[in-house]
Amino acid sequence: MATSTFIIILAAAVAVLIIALVAYKKLYKKIPADAALVVSGGKRKRAYFGGKLVNPITCRTQEIPLNTMNLKVERKGQEALITKDSLRVDIVAEFFVRIQPNEEDVLAAAASLGEKIATPASVSELLEGKLVGALRSVAATMTLQELHEQRQAFADAVQEACSEDLKQNGFTLETVSITSLDQTPLDQLDPHNRFDATAIQTIKQEVEEKQTLTAKIEAENRVRREEDKLKAELEIKAKETETQKQILELERDRAFAEEEQKKEIETKRIEQQKAIQEAELEQKKAIEQARIAQEQAVEEVQIQKTLAVETARIEQERMIRETEAESAIRIAMREKEREQAEIERLSVSAERARAEEQVNTAKLVEEAERESKIKLIEAERKAQEEFIAKQKAAEAELEAAKLKAEAMRILAQAELEKAKAEAEGQKAIIEAKNIAEQKVLTHEAVLNFIQQLPTITERLMKPAERIESIRVLDLGGMGGGESSISRITGAILGAGAAVPLFKEILDLSGVDFTKLARKAAEYIPTMTAPEKEKRPTKQGETQAKEE
């Protein structure tokens, strides 16, 4: 009994707990982080954030979003804003508003919206009048140009103008953005409207002024372009004239440079030929010296060989003669020994026959000894004479060989000196030829210049064709011995642009300037005569009139 009662109580408690949990879940309102819950039905409205247990029987709830909403306001055409200068402005503005997460603003927004759900459309419908009013009030204080140039200032002024009004509805204006701002087209304006009529008149007047200013600027630009074009043409012509002058000067300089270059080339060619010939001469001289030195060395070697051979031969003959003398002495000694043996033999015989022939034996012994001594002395003398003769002959031959070698050395030295003298003579001949060739070339260059003198003088006299008369003051006898023609020609040529070339050529060639001036004077009348025939002088015209 007790057990069943306990089970019933436990089951009832569990059932009550389950029912309580289900009811709590059903009655608990959970609010997102970007929203607030407004509960009404009690003593007063309350705003809750996060969640709240609500009795649906006695209380009423409303969810208010707290996120930022974009309210777009567009006014164009007849609804456009009117500026300070009575012009209409088409404008598109975006207002970013939100409800702050505090009970006062949430309750104010809930009261303003009433039964409406807080969406951007419903909020825009609620606040549009205030937003448009702020736009119009601020636009009326600024001109169209100021609105265009000061958009941020205009947006700040609008935000300041409507912030307090929006705060009364529980909304906070975060920022204002002007996304589009332009003048209203003329075809959308009403000419019967005072503001539109003023705007039309102002726009047309400004357009005409702009067009007039544009036309004036274009005319000024056109005149400026014409002036610039004329200046450019004048500058181009001036540059062309200057360029032509420079070209003529360059041609003149080029002609002088070509003549100078030809002269330098010819001089370098002569110097190169001279250097080549000198090098060839030095090379030949070195080769000849080497050949002579080689021949001298060969001769000296040959002399040394000959001297060595002769010395060896003489020494060999001397040794042979000494050997022969020694042989003769040995033969004489053997003969003496033989004679001595014979004497001893005879002595023995004489001993045996002393008694019989003592006198004869003694005589014979004496004669034999005497003959033996004579033969020995004669053999020694003969051998000594032959040795001395051969030694003297060898010494004479050696001295002769030395004299021959010295003579050959002197002959080789003489040949070397002769070769050196020939080389020096050849070098002098080549230098003389080079000097003569240079003088010949210089003479040819001067002759060629004299042949070209009429053409050069004619070109130099070209500027004088326009001169009607030339007065020359000839101060003869002022310390100069030159003729009048040479002085006049020298003065004319000295004043020309070719003076450096003339003087350098004349200095190089050594030609007398007086003779050259006379030569030029012979050509000048032939060049000036045709010109005189073409243009008669004033005196000739006067004589013709008198005749």
pLDDT(170) > 80: yes
Residues 355-382: tens digit of each pLDDT: 666 666 566 667 766 776 777 677 667 7
Determine the pLDDT at residue 478: 46
CATH code for the domain defined by 60-189: 3.30.479.30
Residue 253's closest CA among 502, 458, 449, 497? 497
Determine the pLDDT at residue 516: 56
* Residue 545 backbone zone (phi > 0: left; psi -120 to 50: alpha; other: beta): alpha
Q: What is the mean pLDDT of residues 196-209?
A: 73
Between CA 138 and CA 131 the distance in angstroms is: 11
Our CA dihedral for 145, 146, 150, 152, rounded to 10 degrees, sits at -110
Residue 355's H or E segment, with its range, is helix 354-460
Determine the pLDDT at residue 95: 93
Residue 454's closest CA among 500, 503, 521? 521
Confidence of residue 529 (pLDDT cuts 50, 70, 90): very low
* Widest CA span in the chain: 222
Residue 433's H or E segment, with its range, is helix 354-460
Residues 13-50: tens digit of each pLDDT: 877 787 777 766 666 666 777 778 777 766 677 777 77
Between CA 253 and CA 246 the distance in angstroms is: 10
Residues 492-505: tens digit of each pLDDT: 544 444 555 555 55
Residue type, 376: L
Residue 456's closest CA among 501, 513, 506, 488? 501
Q: What is the mean pLDDT of residues 463-491?
A: 49
81 contacts 136 by C-beta, under 8 angstroms: yes
Determine the pLDDT at residue 157: 92
pLDDT(70) > 80: yes
Residues 238-250: tens digit of each pLDDT: 988 999 888 988 8
Distance of CA 379 to the CA centre of its chain: 108
Please tell me the least confidently modeled range out of 84-98, 99-113, 133-147, 151-165: 99-113
Each domain of the chain, given as residue ranges in start order, spans 60-189, 258-434
Higher pLDDT, 315 or 164: 164
Residue type, 214: T
Confidence of residue 153 (pLDDT cuts 50, 70, 90): very high
Residue 113's closest CA among 122, 102, 105? 122
